[in-house]
Structure 1
Amino acid sequence: MEFSLFYFSGDGSTTSSDKYRLLIEGAKFADRHKFAAVWIPERHFDAFGGLYPNPAVTGAAIAMITEHIQIRSGSVVMPLQNPLRVAEEWAVVDNLSQGRVGLSFAPGWHPNDFVLFPEKYTDKKEIMWRDIQVVQQLWQGEAIALTGGNGKSVNISTFPRPLQPQVPIWITSLSDETFIDAGKIGANILTSPLYQSLEEILRKVTLYRQSLAQHGHDPQSGKVAMMIHTFIDNDMDTVRHKVREPFKNYLKTHFDLVVKSAGDLRFSIDPKTMTAQDLDDLLDFSFETYFNGKVLMGTPAYCQAMIDNLRQAGVDEVAALIDFGVEFDWVMKSLDLLKDIKNNIAS
């Protein structure tokens, strides 16, 4: 089992001058203590995740303050990007980091994000798979034929040349279909427990490894990383006290997430008719739902047991999401305890 840090802040609207402090200090900590990677998302036009509109930019910053840890997108929303720019920007990060880039790709989901390319929304998944191949070709130094401003065909290569001959590819996956399709191209998997049980994860990982084998890839070569909200302290009541309000506020900044979670549990919700008390009750309910089995929040012993369950479900890496509003010093103390769990597993 490997361990990495995942970032997806709940509030990009703050005007504080230290809004990237946890990203920077967390990355330094992970680098010192031999974590596997730092994941940085791409998110647009919303406070939820809004600190991270371009993971290549923040990845370049991480490259300059670390020496060992892999720097991964979590994820590049491929239909919102030009594959030429993805290859160019991440080749810069690969050079700055001395070859430590990894890329997870996603098709996107929110219609408002597609104001960048509204014509791509309908076929976003097909575009993602197509353009991943283009990024791989460009990364390996191949030229692709495109039409220039004068209407003539021109062969285009991107620069700078990256240091890695091939970029490690991940696919952000929840559905059976995406797990299987990731296996077809030999990509790794980035997933989440929020909308699936451990039994479902095991079933999907089994489908993924079968797909790897059926398409000529080593079925054990693919990695499955689990993005999971993480906070550890030495007493369960202390954990609950420290995370309850921050996590409720985190959920509130992305109300669609709360509605989906409640909908999965067969609740009928009409946001237009909800009162403030209704919303608070729903947030309380959602917090309890997540806190009991959907997040890595608890004592070291509790979290160790949950990590063991993830491993039995076929997960190879815990991608600990740490920036959901808990006080900075508490998060850094939690990282110390996560580091101890990582080291105990390694030994």
Structure 2
Amino acid sequence: MSAPTTGPNLDQLSPERRALVERLMQQRRAQATPKAPAAPAAPSGRPTGLAVSLFFFSADLDDAPADKYDLVLRCAELADELGLHAVWVPERHFNPFGAPYPAPAVLLAAIASRTRRIGLRAGSVVLPLHDPLLVAEEWGVLDAISRGRVALSLASGWHADDFVLNPDGYERRKALLTEQLAELRTLWEGGSSQRVGPQGRMIETRTYPRPARPLETWLTSSGNPETWRTAGTLDQNVLTALLEQSVDDIAGKVALYRQARAEAGHTADDRQITCMLHTHIAERTEDVVPRVHGPLGRYLSAHMNLFEKFAANQDIGVRPEEVTEADRALLLEHGIQRYLRQSGLFGTVETALPMVDRLVAAGVTELGCLVDFGLPDEQVFECVRQLGALQQRVRDRAEGSS
């Protein structure tokens, strides 16, 4: 399917936003210039057919992070052996929900030391909380250690409390993300950043180590259509989730994304749409619901606590103090059933295939299977092994239809 070659309507943008978009488009065109291949053989580009990856985002209500990290590392080793595509870990701060994951680069460095080929993904780096100079340095080290297996999804952030790390950045966090993305790409590709030093002196700064390949990036969107349009205009991959949207919703946003890419003149069919979804694939169908009902309920309850903390500081029409225990129980059971029936990947390899097909039809190219929501370790390992079988089943079907 061909796309129009006309550029985006930049006249509607402010001069500052127009300059940023033009700068990013120039960088994307520069990346299309053939370069000598990098040494590592990592799954950095778009995979052939649907990719199956692991995603970690556990709560830590019992404050036992060592056990959580041991599970992540052992799952990553197993996924590497089974040929899964990538391992995703988030960036979360100051709350038990996602507590083991304040420093994705550190955790992925540990994973890099115990794996050989699997991709190492941040889902996501909240870029407005950080200085791009330090992001380029930190992730450049990890890219070198892993021999080119690093990729980042970037987010603007949503919880005001996180911005104690950068209080001035909260109100303009979305614009700041776009600006910092441009700077990060410049630094990653060996360019410089002009910064004000002591006594007001301007300093031209470059970061090291210098990566051997372009930085593969996603923009994270839990559902905002404008983020999808921005990602399309800037020719970014997209990381999304089945949290507050349906598969049909994703399909509609993929259409917006593709339209924005076409209007911006991006014609290559090489972008990825990664969808995170809660997952438990077992050997037997009858094992799934009894296993996941309790852990998933506790996990969603922790997420509800985070949302209540957010709602208490925002004018969104929700008063947490008015939510009764009966209300919470009803909401939790509704959430559990929603995930089991339409917003997760639960069952066996065969019974999961219809959901996989729906996601592919919606435009998803990679599944980010969130497996660490509280099940016993052996059941999580069983799920990872079954995801290896699912990846192979998907590949076999693709080869059979070609």
Q: What is the TM-score of this pair, normalised by structure 1?
A: 0.93
- Asked whether the 8 Å contact 2:278–2:339 carries over to 1, the reply is no
Q: Which residue of 1 aligns with 2:255?
A: 206
Find the residue that maps to 2:67 and give its secondary structure: coil
Find the residue that maps to 2:68 and give its secondary structure: coil
Q: 2 CA distance for matches of 1:213 and 1:16? A: 45
Q: Which residue of 2 aligns with 1:309?
A: 358
Matched to 2:97, the amino acid is: F
Q: Which residue of 1 aligns with 2:220?
A: 172
Q: 2 CA distance for matches of 1:32 and 1:230? A: 20
- Asked whether the 8 Å contact 1:227–1:319 carries over to 2, the reply is yes
Q: Which residue of 2 aligns with 1:18?
A: 67
Q: 1 CA distance for matches of 2:272 and 2:128? A: 24
Q: How does 1:220-231 map to 2 (within 5 A)?
A: 220-231=269-280
Find the residue that maps to 1:160 and give its secondary structure: coil
**Does residue 248 of structure 1 match 2:271?**
no
Q: CA deviation at 1:216?
A: 2.4
CA deviation map 1:24-61 (0-9, x unaligned): 01111111122111111100000101101011111111
Matched to 1:334, the amino acid is: C
Q: How does 1:252-263 map to 2 (within 5 A)?
A: 252-255=301-304
- CA 1:155–1:77 in 2, change beyond 3 Å: closer, same or farther? same
142-151 vs 9-18, which moves further: 9-18
- Asked whether the 8 Å contact 1:209–1:219 carries over to 2, the reply is no
Matched to 1:18, the amino acid is: D
Q: How does 1:1-347 map to 2 (within 5 A)?
A: 1-11=50-60, 14-15=63-64, 17-164=66-213, 166-173=214-221, 174-255=223-304, 270-347=319-396
Matched to 2:68, the amino acid is: K
Q: CA deviation at 1:278?
A: 3.6
Find the residue that maps to 2:124 and give its secondary structure: strand
Find the residue that maps to 2:368 and give its secondary structure: strand
What's the C-alpha RMSD, in Å, of the aligned pairs? Answer: 1.8
Q: 2 CA distance for matches of 1:269 and 1:123? A: 24
Higher RCO (CA-CA < 8 Å; seq separation 6+): 2
Q: CA deviation at 1:290?
A: 1.9
Q: CA deviation at 1:228?
A: 0.6
Find the residue that maps to 1:292 and give its secondary structure: helix
CA deviation map 1:214-261 (0-9, x unaligned): 22223521110110111012444421111111111111112157779x
191-200 vs 69-78, which moves further: 191-200
- Asked whether the 8 Å contact 2:121–2:153 carries over to 1, the reply is yes
What are the ranges of 5 or more consecutive residues in structure 2 without an aligned counterpart? 1-49, 310-316, 397-402
Q: 1 CA distance for matches of 2:65 and 2:202? A: 48
Matched to 2:343, the amino acid is: K
- Asked whether the 8 Å contact 1:12–1:49 carries over to 2, the reply is no
Find the residue that maps to 2:128 and give its secondary structure: helix
Matched to 1:315, the amino acid is: V
Matched to 1:214, the amino acid is: E
Q: 1 CA distance for matches of 2:201 and 2:177? A: 26
Matched to 1:211, the amino acid is: A
CA deviation map 1:280-304 (0-9, x unaligned): 2321122112221001112222211
- Asked whether the 8 Å contact 2:65–2:100 carries over to 1, the reply is no
Q: CA deviation at 1:84?
A: 0.5
Q: 2 CA distance for matches of 1:49 and 1:273? A: 26
- CA 1:277–1:197 in 2, change beyond 3 Å: closer, same or farther? closer
- Asked whether the 8 Å contact 1:258–1:283 carries over to 2, the reply is no
- CA 1:228–1:67 in 2, change beyond 3 Å: closer, same or farther? same
- Asked whether the 8 Å contact 1:252–1:258 carries over to 2, the reply is no
Q: 2 CA distance for matches of 1:8 and 1:69? A: 18
CA deviation map 1:8-30 (0-9, x unaligned): 11216523642211210111111
Q: 2 CA distance for matches of 1:336 and 1:121? A: 41
Find the residue that maps to 2:278 and give its secondary structure: strand
- CA 1:152–1:259 in 2, change beyond 3 Å: closer, same or farther? closer
Q: 1 CA distance for matches of 2:121 and 2:62? A: 24
- Asked whether the 8 Å contact 1:28–1:65 carries over to 2, the reply is yes
What are the ranges of 5 or more consecutive residues in structure 1 without an aligned counterpart? 261-267
Q: 1 CA distance for matches of 2:358 and 2:147? A: 35
Matched to 1:93, the amino acid is: L
